[in-house]
Amino acid sequence: MGSDGIQKLTMPKWGLSMTHGTVIEWLVPEGAEIVAGLEILEVETEKITGCVESPINGTLRRHVATPGQDIPIGGLLAVAADPSVSDDQIAHFIESYVPETIADESASDDLVPEFADVGGRRLRYLKQGEGGQAVVLIHGFAGSLDNWLFNHVPLAQQRAVYALDLPGHGQSSKDVGDGSLEMLIGTLHDWLDMLGLPSVHLVGHSLGGAVALGMALQDPDRVRSCTLIASAALGPEIDVGYVEGVVEANRRKQLKPCLERLFADPRRMTRQLVDELLKFKRLDGVRDALSKLAENFVVNGEQVVVFRNELDQLQTPTQVIWGNEDLIIPSSHAEDLPDLISVEVLADCGHMVQMEAAREVNQLILSFLEKTDSRER
């Protein structure tokens, strides 16, 4: 809080490459009471459209940024203050505001990804936070660690949280071996060994959920808990058209309709996100890697790696999170699971529920982590 009792709301940084955001719409009017976690405005970045949550409690006195305005990271979006603060004081604060640099050494170090050679493959990963029982975020098919841009920092406030690019994805090696789930689990296992992490909490989305669940079933001592988000491997149904489209599409016109199916509201899909995936797919080895992975997981229009009949053997505390409008893997896969598995189905969300309802998903994960850790104390 400023010396005059004025609090600033600034443009957050979502992901490694974000430098600015464009204000789309204010969701809260001037004069309204706001609380931490409340979605206050919609912002479009080069990758995604998302909502900025208030980090503070107070009265929203002034919208500084206007719809259509491009604001750099750390730029002033709005100010909050008690009604006793005069309009002149607020105006002076806005006029004299100097954005805090985000390029100080401590902040930039946290946002520099690292690389590790694991079993002859080069893996990219990013660590945020320190201490606590470590968490590993595992993205889905054709994704990358950037899929956690709304989740990584909030989850890392009191513990170390790692996100990695699986083989064949992001900036990791495009060598996927035989493309099997066993290869992915083995690579994860060896990477954890290299980091000196004997046991971790796993959070997996889609294909990453299959990796997390497979590891928990195979090596329960290494997995403290599993959070499965719109997970593969819980039933046979899948939108095979999406999988084939992502593998085969080589033009924007072909890829865009596939990617729009990831979100309940296709407007969240930006042109830049489509273009970046097209650029990624043109790298040597990417198409072959994705094709080999797809062949191992989807045959004759169905998932062939399904652990549903093995869930009664699961020793790891597990929760399942899904969007009720998921068009890629149906939310019905969250039904009729063993009683020990907690289930949350979120309204008005699609397959990328961790982006679409980031605040709710983050709260569910943090509560589950705390509950699991408290049992072990």
pLDDT tens track for 162-178: 999 999 999 999 999 99
Residue 271 has pLDDT above 60, yes or no: yes
**Both tokens of residue 53?**
């949550």
The CA angle 330-331-334, to the nearest 5 degrees, is 125
pLDDT band at 16 (very low <50, low <70, confident <90, very high): low
Least confident range from 11-25, 58-72, 155-169, 249-263: namely 11-25
**Domain architecture of the chain: domains with CATH:** 6-104 (2.40.50.100), 113-376 (3.40.50.1820)
- Strands 135-138 and 200-205 come out as parallel
53 compared with 238, residue with greater pLDDT = 238
pLDDT tens track for 298-350: 999 999 999 999 999 999 999 999 999 999 999 999 999 999 999 999 999 99
Least confident range from 47-51, 60-64, 245-249: namely 47-51
**Considering the entire predicted model, what is its pTM?**
0.81
**Rounded Cα distance, 198 and 181, in Å:** 21
- Strands 6-10 and 76-81 come out as antiparallel
The CA angle 183-111-266, to the nearest 5 degrees, is 70
**Rounded Cα distance, 11 and 124, in Å:** 27
User: What's the mean per-residue pLDDT of the chain?
Assistant: 91
Whether 39 contacts 27, CB under 8 Å: yes
Most confident of the ranges 18-22, 83-87, 108-112? 83-87
Average pLDDT on 24-30 reads 93
Sign of CA dihedral 70, 72, 76, 78: positive
